[in-house]
């Protein structure tokens, strides 16, 4: 059973959905942002860190405990959260698991390698209402699950 929701919130487009479902279940939400962002939803605890590459990620990672749900689009954060026995979900609704994290990290590495060699890679698609619906369905399923993380 999920105990807390930790959100990599700098560029997270689903914060309102997260808060809505957390309130229904009386779950604490902690949003991690750097000083360039603002959140004031009246519910979440907001942790503000100094500006810097991955500073919010590092603070979030240091806070993860077994039984947490972590919401991030960062595969590196997801891998570490899984190692700490947290459940991890992408803002698209994809659940990160031990079965897909290695492939995702490898794909990210190959894309970075291609970009360094001057090749163009596709960026993320424009977010749609369907993306929000898929995330919301996955979040509800995760929060209602008795299993905290996939072994």
28-42 pLDDT tens trace: 999 999 988 888 899
Residue 121 has pLDDT above 60, yes or no: yes
Residue 79 CB contacts under 8 Å (≥ 6 apart), including other chains:
96, 101, 105
CA distance readout (Å), 42 to 9, 18, 80, 132: 15, 13, 29, 21
Nearest to 63 by CA among 80, 38, 41, 40: 80
- Residue 126: the pLDDT is 86
- Residue 108: the pLDDT is 58
- Residue 151: the pLDDT is 42
Q: Are 80 and 64 in contact (CB under 8 A)?
A: yes
Q: Are 148 and 2 in contact (CB under 8 A)?
A: yes
**Considering the entire predicted model, what is its pTM?**
0.83
User: What is the distance between the alpha carbons of residues 81 and 63, in angstroms, rounded to a whole number?
Assistant: 10
Domain range 4-116+126-143, CATH class: alpha beta
Report the Cα 76 to chain-centroid distance in Å: 11
Q: Are 28 and 22 in contact (CB under 8 A)?
A: yes
Comparing 137 with 38, which gets the higher pLDDT?
A: 137
């Amino acid at each position: 059973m999920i105990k807390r929701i930790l959100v990599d919130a700098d560029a997270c487009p689903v914060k309102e959905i997260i808060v809505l479902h957390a309130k229904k279940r009386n779950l604490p939400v902690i949003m991690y942002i750097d000083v360039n962002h603002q959140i004031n939803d009246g519910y979440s605890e907001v942790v503000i860190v100094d500006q810097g590459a991955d500073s919010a990620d590092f603070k979030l990672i240091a806070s993860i405990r077994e039984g947490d749900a972590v919401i991030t689009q960062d595969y590196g954060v997801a891998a570490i959260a899984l190692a700490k026995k947290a459940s991890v979900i992408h803002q698209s609704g994809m659940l990160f698991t031990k079965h897909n994290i290695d492939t995702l990290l490898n794909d990210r590495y190959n894309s970075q390698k291609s970009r360094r060699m001057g090749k163009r890679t596709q960026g993320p698609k424009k977010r749609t209402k369907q993306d929000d619906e898929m995330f919301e369905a996955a979040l509800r399923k995760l929060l209602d699950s008795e299993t905290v993380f996939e072994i």
